[in-house]
Amino acid sequence: MALGCRWPLRIGGSFGYRAGGLCGPSPPCISTVTVNENLLTPLNLEINPNAQCVKQQEKEQIKCLNNKFAAFIDKVHFLEQQNKLLETKWQFYQNHEFCQGNLEELFQGYIQTLRRVNEYMEDDAGRLTLELNHVQEQLEGFKKKYEEELALGATAENELVLLKKDIDSAYLRKSDLEANVELLTREITFLRSLYEESQISETSVVVKMDNSRELNMDVVVAEIKAQYDDIASRSRAEAAGWYQTKCEEMKATVIQQSENLRKSKDELNKLNRLIQRLTAEVENAKQQCSKLEASIAEAEQQGEAALSDARCKLTGLEEALQKAKQNMAWLLREYQKLMNSKLGLDVEIATYHKLLEGEESRLCEGMGAVTSVNWASVGVAFLGISSLNIRLHLSMGTG
């Protein structure tokens, strides 16, 4: 933003200046003063040459006053911009304080959320631990059942061994009976042949007698053989049936025990897989709990660090704001002083301008009158310029 000011002052004509304003917070600078060269040409009025020198000095003093006044105007604009800058900083500090409050609430909410998640994970870990204990109890029960089944299988195997021994002993008994049958058969054959020989040898000496008791050895041998055959067949059938029954029972027992053992192994494998899965879930839950606890601790540390940093910044901003307020108050006082000086200078410049216009009009009326009035006006002008210079120096010193 560029600011400008123009104050015309005339002596026998008109001349002026144009001062450029400042842009941004840079220090004020004075632009080049333009002067009408025709005004510097001395008038051919055939008056005292000292009057021209006095007028030249007055012109130089007026130019100097114009430059100082332009500097004052630029300084006033600079102070106005500083005032706006301080107001902007004040608004920024207020908004920043509001943002600091929101940041603390945001951190508190995030910490509360992490704590709730941690509590949920702890509850989940407790539930998984209870489930793991229950599964371990079931596993212990299945292990006991598996051991019992193994013991039953061992018992069945022992019974099978005993049954095999009984079968072997029955087979041996059968072999012995068959051997006895063979011996008895041979003995019967021998007795029969012996009987026949005795019958043949006694036919010549034996007198036939009427005897009702006849010894029929064939019938006796047949009966004995039939009895032994019946005993052997019954023993063989009983041994075969008992052996077959025991084999069927042992086969059924072995099949049942094998099926139970297979089911127990399947259940044991399932329980092992379930235990591994639950163990992995528990470990994962523990890791997540550890991560959440670390995140909560880190968030609390970051929140405390951020809060402490925010408090430090807030303290610094409050101190800077206090200094800015003091600086602003000082600038306002300086601004008020400059405005008062400006008003006084405006009044004096207007008065001096009127005096110069009156001097110019009197110069145009006549030589004699101009000469007399000129010296009086010059004295008044010197008094005004002196007082104006004094006030300007005082204002520059206070600024």
Q: Indicate which CATH number applies to the domain containing 169.
A: 1.10.287.2610
pLDDT at 20 (0 to 100) = 40
- Residue 254 belongs to domain spanning: 110-200+214-309
Mean pLDDT: which of 14-23, 243-252, 359-368 is highest? 243-252
Q: Please tell me the predicted confidence (pLDDT) of residue 209.
A: 47
DSSP, residue by residue, 58-78: HHHHHHHHHHHHHHHHHHHHH
Query: What pLDDT, on the 0 to 100 scale, is given for residue 17?
Result: 39
The per-residue pLDDT for 2 is 37
- Predicted confidence at residue 341, as pLDDT, reads 83
pLDDT of residue 398: 43
With respect to residue 319, please indicate whether it lies within any of the assigned structural domains: no
Separation between Cα atoms, residue 257 and residue 139, nearest integer Å: 20
Residue 6 is assigned to a structural domain of this protein: no
User: Of 382, 320, 358, 372, which Cα lies nearest the Cα of 89?
Assistant: 320
State how far the Cα of 386 lies from the Cα of 339, in Å rounded to an integer: 21
Distance in angstroms (rounded) separating the CA atoms of residues 208 and 210:
7
Q: Residues 262-299: pLDDT tens digits?
A: 887 888 888 888 888 888 888 888 888 888 888 888 88
H runs (alpha helix) in the chain: 49-201, 217-365, 367-398
Query: For residue 203, what pLDDT is reported?
Result: 53
| 92 part of a folded domain | no
Distance CA 349, CA 387 (A): 11
Dump pLDDT digits (tens) for 133-183: 888 888 888 888 888 888 887 887 888 788 778 777 777 877 788 788 888
Q: What is the pLDDT of residue 97?
A: 58
- Cβ-count burial of 9 within 10 angstroms (0-12 exposed, 13-18 middle, 19+ buried)? buried
Residues of the chain above pLDDT 70, percent: 71
More confident: 384 or 313: 313
Pick from 28-37, 125-134, 191-200, 325-334: least confident: 28-37
**Two structure tokens written together for 337:** 């002083």
350: pLDDT confidence band, cut at 50, 70 and 90?
confident
Whether the pLDDT of residue 255 is over 80: the answer is: yes
Distance CA 291, CA 297 (A): 10
Whether the Cβ atoms of residue 374 and residue 385 lie closer than 8 Å to each other:
no
Please give the pLDDT value at position 133.
Answer: 83
Task: Name which residue leads in pLDDT, 206 or 364.
Answer: 364
Q: Number of structural domains, the chain? A: 1
Answer whether residue 210 shows pLDDT above 60. no
| Higher pLDDT pick, 245 / 47 | 245
Least confident of 19-28, 86-95, 103-112: 19-28
Phi-psi region of 35 (alpha: psi -120 to 50; beta: other; left: phi over 0): beta
The residues that bridge with 15 in the sheet, in sequence order, are 9
Exposed e or buried b for every residue in 44-70, given b needs 16+ CB within 10 A?
ebebeeebeebbeebbebbeebbebbb
Query: How many angstroms from the chain centroid is the CA of residue 156?
Result: 63
* pLDDT at res. 302: 81
Tokens representing 260 are: 């139970």
**Assigned domain for 356 exists:** no
Q: Which residue has the higher pLDDT, 220 or 250?
A: 250
pLDDT score for 219: 75
Predicted TM-score (pTM) of the model is 0.33
**Dihedrals φ, ψ of 130, to 5°?**
-65, -45
Alpha-carbon distance values, 376 to 44, 46, 106, 350 (Å): 20, 18, 80, 19
Q: How far apart are CA 365 and CA 395, in angstroms?
A: 39
Nearest C-alpha neighbor of 28 from the set 63, 70, 65, 64? 70
> In percent, how much of the chain has pLDDT > 90?
0
Q: What's the mean per-residue pLDDT of the chain?
A: 71
Task: Decide if 302 is inside a domain.
Answer: yes
362 Cα distance to chain centroid = 90
Q: Is the pLDDT of residue 18 over 50?
A: no
CA distances from 156 to 168, 244, 247, 251, 261 (A): 18, 16, 12, 10, 13
Q: Examine residue 177 and state whether it is found in any structural domain, yes or no.
A: yes
